[in-house]
A and B are shown apart, each in its own frame.
Chain A
Amino acid sequence: MPAYVQGDVRSPLWIGANAVTDRDLRSYRPPTPAPMLEPMRRNIVILGGGTGGTLTANRLRRAHDAADVAITVIDQDNRHIYQPGLLFVPFGLAGADEIVRGRGAQLHGDIEYVQSAIEHVDIEANEVALVNGGRLRYDVLVVATGAVLLPDETEGLTGPGWMSKVFTFYDLDGAMALADALKWFDGGRIVVNLVDMPIKCPVAPLEFCFLADWYFHERGIRNKVDITYVTPLDGAFTKPVAARQLAGLLDEKGIELVTEFNTGEVDGADGRLVSYDGREVPFDLGVVVPLHGGAPYVGRSPGLGDELNFVPTDEHTLQSKAAPNIFAIGDAASLPNSKAGSVTHFEGEVLVDNIVRFLAGEPLEGSYDGHVNCFIETGFHKALLIDFNYDTEPLPGHFPGRLGMPLLKESRLNHLGKLLFQWFYWHALLPGREIPGVPHNMPTAGKQLTTKPEEN
């Protein structure tokens, strides 16, 4: 009997390259199921072992007994990066050893971890094809492979000057190379540019500006450094109240703001950004956030993704529009909100509830409200906090209630919150535990709501 027959508890889904030949696979037809005396063990396959994949796997493991549901997580490497930490690397405030851990080590027992790149998903066959030749059958698939950087899509960006005069801090190699460049930078013009939305953590390029201001202030050469923030948006941020607040902060800190600039070319040799409408911004050091897309295998999986390889997903249930048994979480999903770890965290609870419902044959609940919560590091040991959802933009007040952390206002407490968060990330968020006082839906208790009177 082949090792991969449904219901075999030892290896229910792993059709390893060694187990069968391609010829076996082509000729293999599932046997007609015999009448079942006990419930069939089902397979949940999670693509991606980052924030979303890990917390989903760990939460699902608690929700389902291992005898009933097998859980497999697939990722192409074993480096789980605490991505909020990348912001601190260029300024020497964090090192690779502090923000990288193994992926498998973050998964609870009875979760299988498979390290391989993904070739494609066969939606009709309910199978994932791996680059290593294996195929995995799934009853439920979770797409959690995040976003990838696409620097090659911008003319000139990876040409002359890339990684010597033009950097990104959105991956570890870039952040480390930028740390070195900043150390030797003793004056001139720094330009921070986000090429186009969507990007991960839309506030991070602003935080980079604020931290650069502080960094050069500490080095005593702030007066020799010009910092310019160049964005395709029509303001400092996407949401009006926060955009005004953040534009005010840029101004206070002497950071120039250039808006509605759609970068068409990055000329590293001559040090200039060129927009599609012919404007130019010169630089001595360019910090560019490249275009983002979904994982390339999404594009090789007919019917799974959109033009940018993100997965169209119901914004409240997190069920994909590709098939009822495919769900998406985090940056991989095409949702009308920020690509951020907090979003993934808040989605996790709803996603897992809905997978449990799906496997039980019950209707899904559309309870995710688009909740986002971000600390915005502003330098000088201070940070802002913003909290919003699909319907309510970031507003002033306190989080999560009236006596909580100040919203949209610089404070030392928020900075401490940002630093402490890394501990919560590894020890509460990834294991899938609740973070005390942080609900998955946006709290309104401490907010100065403009549309309705404050509750409580």
Chain B
Amino acid sequence: MSTLTFAATDVEVNDEGFFVHPEAWTEAMVPDLARREGINELTDAHWQVIRFMRSEYLAKGAGPTVRVLGKTSGVSIKDLYQLFPKGPAKIAAKIAGIPKPRGCI
């Protein structure tokens, strides 16, 4: 557990970098969060995926896996990897301030 600062706000994240308190997230933090994951330029497509992750988490209590993201977000898995090369579900979940998608059981 450690504390990081995004958009001039202190936020607690776990050892893997996911928000401990997803409710602490605001859209203003997204550019800082994205830069931390090596994404310097946020396109509309990035925002589409990040907002989709966030709304799925709020609706269902868990973020979607890459496979579900490819089926439901309107962005194909191939394109998702273009947007988030280090792993779409994981990175987009970090940027959206939600817990690690639990595809891994």
Contact = CB atoms under 8 A, between A and B. Distances in A.
B38 interface: no
A93 B52 CA distance: 48
B105 A196 contact: no
Interface of A: 196-198, 202, 233-234, 238, 260, 262, 264, 276-277, 291, 307-308, 336-338
Task: Pick the 6 closest A-B CB pairs, nearest first.
Answer: A276-B81, A238-B104, A197-B103, A307-B71, A307-B68, A196-B67
B105 A336 contact: yes
A372 to B, nearest CB: 10
B67 A308 contact: yes
Nearest to B81: A276
Main secondary structure of the interface of A (DSSP, over half): loop
20 contacts: A196-B65, A196-B66, A197-B65, A198-B103, A198-B105, A233-B104, A238-B104, A262-B66, A262-B81, A262-B87, A276-B66, A276-B77, A276-B81, A277-B85, A277-B87, A291-B67, A307-B68, A308-B68, A308-B71, A337-B105
B66, B67, B72, B105: residue with the most chain A Cβ atoms closer than 10 Å = B105
Contacts of B102: 336
Nearest to B85: A277
A155 to B, nearest CB: 9
Interface in B45-103: 64-68, 71-72, 77-78, 80-81, 85-87, 102-103
Given A277-B87, A308-B67, A308-B71, 6 more contacts: A233-B104, A262-B81, A264-B78, A276-B78, A276-B81, A307-B71
A308 to B, nearest CB: 7
A91 B44 CA distance: 51
Contacts of B66: 196, 262, 276
Nearest to B89: A262
Nearest to B77: A276
Interface of B: 64-68, 71-72, 77-78, 80-81, 85-87, 102-105
A291 B77 CA distance: 14
Given A262-B66, A307-B68, A308-B68, A196 B103 contact: yes
B83 to A, nearest CB: 11
Contacts of A277: 81, 85-87
A202 B72 contact: no
A260 B87 CA distance: 8
B14 to A, nearest CB: 13
A234 B68 CA distance: 19
Nearest to A195: B67
Contacts of A337: 105
B93 to A, nearest CB: 14
A264 B66 CA distance: 11
Contacts of B67: 196, 291, 308
B81, B85, B86, B102: residue with the most chain A Cβ atoms closer than 10 Å = B81
Contacts of B78: 264, 276
